[in-house]
Amino acid sequence: MSAVRQGVGAEWRAYWSLPLVAALGYSVSVLHVYSLGPFIAPLQSEFDWTRAEVSMGLMISNAGIAVLCIPIGLLVDRFGPRVIGLAGVVLMGGAYALLGTATGQVSNWIFLWALIALAAPWTQSLVWTSAVASRFEISRGVAFAVTLAGAPLGATLFPVLATYLIETQGWRTAFSATGGIWVALVLPFLFFGFRGRRDRSREHRSTVATPMPDLTGLSLTEGFRSAAFFKLLLAGSLFAFTVIGILVHFVPILTDSGTSPLAAAGTASLIGIFSIIGRLGTGFLLDRFPGHFVGAGIFLLANVACLLLLFQADATLSQAVAAAIFGLTLGAEIDVIAYLATRHFGLRNFGALFGGLVAALNLGSAFGPLAAGATFDRFGSYSAFLVVTMVLMTGSAVVLASLGRPPFATRV
């Protein structure tokens, strides 16, 4: 145990800032997801769109992300995550700001979200976790938790920031201001502090005889054909389809029950706060207990939140508890998938293999919000989607629990 503690301490002393900086970078990847909810009502009012038409943008962007994740993963494995991440933050900020130029034509809305589909893959979790995984072995679970806390950070700040800017500056300016403020804050930290082992090796190759890092793991063929890959793909896509669908529509779910928009945005921000708690707690558990059981147990928590929204959606306390539970489960999802990917596939081709899983997550995220919006348009409420969420989340937990012992366990 003392050797483990010494190893953990050595990793954090050497690279403590990397997960923190990577978290800022990862937050940019969810800018278009967690800020969209406050824009739904203004866009409906301006253009007389349905909620499904507004949510269609996420389907387009996330479907595009799914297509590009594996190619981006290959680029990360080839060139290192630093150059990919820096380019991605700039591209994502610009593409998001252009949403404020929407004309009301559906074809224009599709085009603007297609630009996000081209920019967002460069900021996905595979970029940031690739660098962190190359520096952390013994305490990888906690390091991933800190890195991936960038998403709940965004979930906490983006709804409130967007709502404030919409009410004070209008929805068009709010798009450009939200993206511009965040990119201007994040980019300097990434420029000076984001480097993985592959990046360091490339930077010093011309002056120091440093070989590329000896990263072990499965080949691409072995990884894509493994049972673990398909199980992680299924579990992640089911989670993303249901929970992201609810999160995007969480503010409308609450306002439909009579809550004011600003109060609903404030309650939705609890998702981000508790995602950070869930993320750090999950990282702690992953470093100490079998990851597939940890993930399965946490995924099942979402069913409790669904029940609260089904039967007590107008109660302030129930709204807050539901937001907290969704935050805890959201904090576990990508952490569990990423952590188990490193343990089942190794790091040799982590970017491409995890890119395949991220593609599945984004496909789920693409169609979940659309399905939730279509459910409301058809039935006048989100109840049916909440029931589907409980069924699919239970299935996702069962799939995770069926994973066996990983071949690339922690070396101590």
| CA neighbours closer than 13 Å in the CB half-sphere of residue 267 | 27
The yes-or-no verdict on residue 212 having pLDDT over 50 is no
- Determine the average pLDDT of the residues in 79-104: 92
pLDDT attached to residue 6 = 59
How far apart, in whole angstroms, are the C-alpha atoms of residue 412 and residue 1? 9
Farthest CA pair distance, the chain: 66
**Single-letter residue type at 181:** I
Note the pTM of the prediction, 2 decimals. Answer: 0.71
Total residue count of the chain as it appears in this document:
412
- Determine the average pLDDT of the residues in 97-126: 92
pLDDT attached to residue 409 = 63
Q: What are the residues facing 346 on neighbouring strands? A: 217
Range with lowest mean pLDDT among 1-15, 89-103, 382-396: 1-15
Termini Cα distance of the chain: 9
The yes-or-no verdict on residue 310 having pLDDT over 60 is yes
Kindly list the domain boundaries of the chain, sorted by start residue. 18-401
Helix 291-299 to helix 383-401 angle (10° resolution) is: 170
**Do residues 140 and 410 touch, judged by C-beta distance below 8 A?**
yes
pLDDT tens-digit readout, 324-365: 999 888 767 778 888 888 888 888 888 888 888 888 887 787
Q: Residue 87 — pLDDT band, cuts 50, 70, 90? A: very high
Secondary structure E strands in 113-234 = none
pLDDT tens-digit readout, 21-43: 999 999 999 898 888 888 888 99
- Determine the average pLDDT of the residues in 133-142: 84
The yes-or-no verdict on residue 412 having pLDDT over 70 is no
Q: Residue 209 — pLDDT band, cuts 50, 70, 90? A: very low
Range with lowest mean pLDDT among 20-29, 150-159, 164-173, 322-331: 150-159
Q: Residue 53 — pLDDT band, cuts 50, 70, 90? A: confident
How far apart, in whole angstroms, are the C-alpha atoms of residue 309 and residue 302? 11
- Determine the average pLDDT of the residues in 241-250: 87
Per CATH, the number for 18-401 is 1.20.1250.20
Q: Which of 322, 286, 336, 7 is nearest to 148 (CA)?
A: 336
**Do residues 333 and 14 touch, judged by C-beta distance below 8 A?**
no
Higher local confidence (pLDDT), 368 or 55: 368
pLDDT attached to residue 3 = 54
Q: Which one-letter DSSP state was computed for residue 244?
A: I
pLDDT tens-digit readout, 253-309: 888 888 888 788 888 888 878 877 887 888 888 888 888 888 888 889 899 999 999
Residue 313, helix vs strand vs coil: coil
Structure tokens at 88: 């991605």
pLDDT attached to residue 207 = 40
Higher local confidence (pLDDT), 208 or 59: 59
The yes-or-no verdict on residue 172 having pLDDT over 90 is yes
pLDDT attached to residue 305 = 92
pLDDT attached to residue 109 = 92
- Mean of all residue pLDDT scores within the chain: 84
The yes-or-no verdict on residue 208 having pLDDT over 50 is no
The yes-or-no verdict on residue 206 having pLDDT over 70 is no
